[in-house]
Amino acid sequence: MITETPKLPESVTHEDGKFNLYHINEIYKVLAHKISQQLTDELKTEIHITSGMWGGSYLVANEIGKARSNIVRLYCLVNLPQNSPLDDKENFEHLMVQYHQAFKKTFARYNLNFVNPRWGETIPYTNRQRPTTALQMWEQNNRVKFLRAFFVWNKATWEDSITYDTIRNLKVIKELLDHNQRYQPKRSPEEYKFLLQDVLIIYYTLQNALTPDFLEHAEPIMTNLLKKFLGGLHDPKMIEELYQDVYKNAIVYGLEESLEGPYKEAGLDIHRVEDWPVDKINWVPDQLKKNVGSSLLETFAGFKAHLEQKAGGTVH
């Protein structure tokens, strides 16, 4: 059952222009709720959509959810029900229109002008039968570069969808970190930087599920990498050195290990996630729900508590 509509935040930035990631996340939740209601009314079938931030910047925000660095791209995950009227191409196209119109209208309140919507791109390393697709819009006021939403085909809580998506993201980063590949062609500093950012996202998302031995090995490397990012990482030589550090220390394999075991117990191979049954899209084992999902929820509950303490009342 769809509950009462949550409220949009009054602002999404602080005095210095940095985003509040708790409030950005609330926008995605509000829009998912509103569009669920609209579709339920129009299609005469209950449609329940969930959504929240993607990208991991909230994992290193301060206690009230303020970003520690300048956010130049906005991302979100949107989880759609299977076996619903949204399976119909016309209804799905209508959903895309609703979403890009909602993004434009809502973010305009905060002086973000998103235009030129494009959708339909299939995301690599997602389910072959029901692949994840993306909607992207570009921002005209130069506050950020773009907003990109990933549409995933199975109902799930936000924290479960984030946990599940680390499997896909691990396969992306492994393209440049796999020791079994005989030759790794040199890439541009920008490509290495994107890779290192994803390594940080996955590491801090899965931190509570990592083995003690791997944590001891990886923590100094990840702490140094995060420090360099927060300080502003622009030097091409430094970027390549950081990449080599992550590569030589086999970081990707320790990250994989935290997911392999729990999924293997359920008969699922994370190395073949594209071939999983469609009902296992967005599925997360209880062990990872406890170690990863709970931690993600606690992060945002902490933001909310500190914002309320600062404001002296309830925040939305």
Q: Check: CB of residue 28 under 8 Å from CB of residue 49.
A: no
Amino acid code (one letter) for 305: A
Q: 40: Cβ–Cβ under 8 A, 6 or more apart, which residues?
A: 2, 46, 47
Confidence grade of residue 6 (pLDDT, cut at 50, 70, 90): confident
- 43 forms bridges with which residues in the sheet? none
Cα Rg, the chain, nearest whole Å: 20
Degrees to nearest 5, angle at CA 58 with 53 and 62: 150
Q: What does the pLDDT read at residue 295?
A: 93
List the end-to-end C-alpha distance of the chain, in Å, as a whole number: 21
Q: What does the pLDDT read at residue 300?
A: 95
Amino acid code (one letter) for 248: K
Q: What does the pLDDT read at residue 69?
A: 86
Computed over every residue of the chain, the mean pLDDT equals: 94
**Residue range 65-69: average pLDDT?**
92
Q: What does the pLDDT read at residue 7?
A: 87
User: Residue 293: CA atoms inside 13 Å, Cβ hemisphere, count?
Assistant: 18
Q: Which among 249, 258, 265 is positioned nearest to 210, based on CA atoms?
A: 258
Q: What does the pLDDT look like over 50-62, one tens digit per residue?
A: 999 998 888 889 9
Tokens 């935040």 found at: 9
pLDDT score of 266 more than 90: yes
pLDDT score of 313 more than 80: no
- 136 forms bridges with which residues in the sheet? 118, 148
Residue positions counted in the chain? 316
Confidence grade of residue 269 (pLDDT, cut at 50, 70, 90): very high
Q: What does the pLDDT look like over 221-246, one tens digit per residue?
A: 999 999 999 888 899 999 999 999 99
Q: What does the pLDDT read at residue 59?
A: 86
Q: What does the pLDDT read at residue 296?
A: 95
Q: What does the pLDDT read at residue 182?
A: 66
Q: What does the pLDDT read at residue 56?
A: 86
User: Residue 63: CA atoms inside 13 Å, Cβ hemisphere, count?
Assistant: 6
Give CA separation, 153 vs 132, 276, 277, 303, in Å.
7, 13, 12, 29
Confidence grade of residue 185 (pLDDT, cut at 50, 70, 90): confident
% the chain with pLDDT above 90: 87
Give CA separation, 243 vs 79, 84, 179, 219, 246, in Å.
32, 44, 13, 15, 5
CB-count exposure of residue 286 (10 Å: 0-12, 13-18, 19+): exposed
pTM of the model: 0.94
Q: Which among 209, 205, 242, 239 is positioned nearest to 55, based on CA atoms?
A: 205
Confidence grade of residue 1 (pLDDT, cut at 50, 70, 90): very low
Q: What does the pLDDT look like over 116-167, one tens digit per residue?
A: 999 999 999 999 999 999 999 999 999 999 999 999 999 999 999 999 999 9
CA atoms 221, 226, 227, 228: torsion sign: positive
Strand, coil or helix: 179: coil
- Cα–Cα distance measured from residue 168 to residue 124, given in angstroms and rounded to the nearest whole number: 8
Q: What does the pLDDT look like over 199-223, one tens digit per residue?
A: 999 999 999 999 999 999 999 999 9
Domain boundaries, the chain: 21-311
